[in-house]
Chains A and B, each alone.
Chain A
Amino acid sequence: MFIELLKGLLVTLELFAVCWVFSIPFGLLLCFARKNSLKFFRFLIDTYIWIMRGTPLLLQIFFLFYGLPLIFPALQVNDRFLVGAFAFILNYVAYFAEIFRGGLKNVDKGQFESIKVLKISKLKAVFRIIIPQMLRVCLPSICNESVALVKDTALIFSIGVIELLTTAKNIVNSSADIFAYVVAAAMYLFICSLVNLAFKIFEKRLKFE
């Protein structure tokens, strides 16, 4: 049982890691693109975020795996994990972009004025001044979203990927013993606690003291 659950956990962790690693930078990129682009692109970005946040993630996964190939047969991908991960990334990029937007709004206007007057290059300004100050504000929200992501990974079962929760469910169904659920819950709790801890450490380092 444990080995099976560990295998399921590995899939969950893999999905979490892939989604997190791609969603954070793309969310940041989208946030800056939205701020600096023309009205039309801003409208496109806003529409994307609106759709992603306004429809269920489960529906988005279904749409990408079952719906899209019906409209565009060339887009048929048989790797269920890949399609699922892609759907997660699309969804979480929108959420992270909104979180970063809040962080960016919190950076004092005077910081941008200093950057302009001191002729600091855009790249240096973004990476060394703006992003660290944004992160300080939005780290708790990123942490919340990351914990939600750990638990959301279970939704990938809907397209037939066997992850931790589905593994536990299969074990319970075949053994008529709910202990596998308890172990799975403990595993989720452990991962979420680790994520929380990592963010708390990072938050402390961003105190600028």
Chain B
Amino acid sequence: MNMIDAINITKRFDNSMVFENLNFSVEKGEIVTIVGSSGRGKSTLLRCLVGLEKIDGGTIIIDGKKLVEDGVYAKSRDQSKILSEVGIVFQNYNLFPNLTVRGNLEIVKNDGKKIDSLLRRFGLYDRASAYPGKISGGQKQRLAIIRAMMLDPKIIFFDEPTSALDEDNRGEIVKLINELNSEQYTIVVVAHDMQFVDCLNSKIYEMQ
């Protein structure tokens, strides 16, 4: 069963075409990597799939539900329901700098037990009261992953997850992605770092 189906989707900014009639599908529980040189629209595609950008034509189906059909979006309430299946880890993490590590999670869902268990699992329990500005790049990324997991999505998108990480943390993120995938999360990664892509056991789409 496919978790994501993008059928003939088109996106343009003003008069410049980002992609046209693009087809793309992701099966449940698989890891998919979207690669391609910069400016090919990888991140834009990802932003369209999480609802941050609107496509200009085509159909997007997420977990069997139509987010867009032939360029026409579902009703706002339905969109919100459909998009609750997806979580995203941004390239710059986009953590809330005025909230502590715990605060960044509590604001999404105030579930103390879940927060404690995720913080422990991802090695951030001791840093729960620190502000994002005071934790390392790897810790920020882990926090961004936990935050994306707070709403129990079925699909997690990663936008250039290694762009701000050193060698050690790169290895760690590969391990984390594989771990999440083994828990039945469907993973979509946008990357241009081929060394990193080679480490993931993933289906690769290249945007040309």
Binding site for A on B (CB under 8 A): 50-52, 80, 83-84, 86-88, 90, 92, 94-99, 107-108, 131, 133-134, 147, 150-151
Distance of A108 Cα from B150 Cα, bound (Å): 22
A177 within 8 A of B: no
Contact of A209 among B95, B99, B131 (CB under 8 A): B131
Instruction: Check if A136 sits within 8 Å of B98, measured CB to CB.
Output: yes
Instruction: Check if B98 sits within 8 Å of A129, measured CB to CB.
Output: yes
Residue with the highest number of chain B CB atoms closer than 10 Å, among A110, A117, A118, A208: A117
Instruction: Check if A120 sits within 8 Å of B108, measured CB to CB.
Output: yes
Chain B interface SS verdict (over half): loop
Chain A residue contacts of B92, Cβ below 8 A: 110
Instruction: Check if A113 sits within 8 Å of B96, measured CB to CB.
Output: no
Per-residue interface assignment for chain A, residues 96 to 140, with 1 indicating a CB less than 8 Å from any chain B CB and 0 otherwise: 000000000000101101101111100010001100110010000
Contact of A113 among B52, B83, B107, B131 (CB under 8 A): B52
Instruction: Check if A118 sits within 8 Å of B97, measured CB to CB.
Output: no
Chain B residue contacts of A120, Cβ below 8 A: 107-108
Instruction: Check if A128 sits within 8 Å of B150, measured CB to CB.
Output: no
Would you give 17 A-B contacts (Cβ < 8 Å), ordered by A? A110-B90, A111-B96, A113-B90, A114-B90, A114-B96, A116-B52, A117-B83, A117-B86, A117-B88, A118-B107, A118-B151, A119-B84, A119-B151, A124-B107, A128-B107, A133-B97, A209-B131
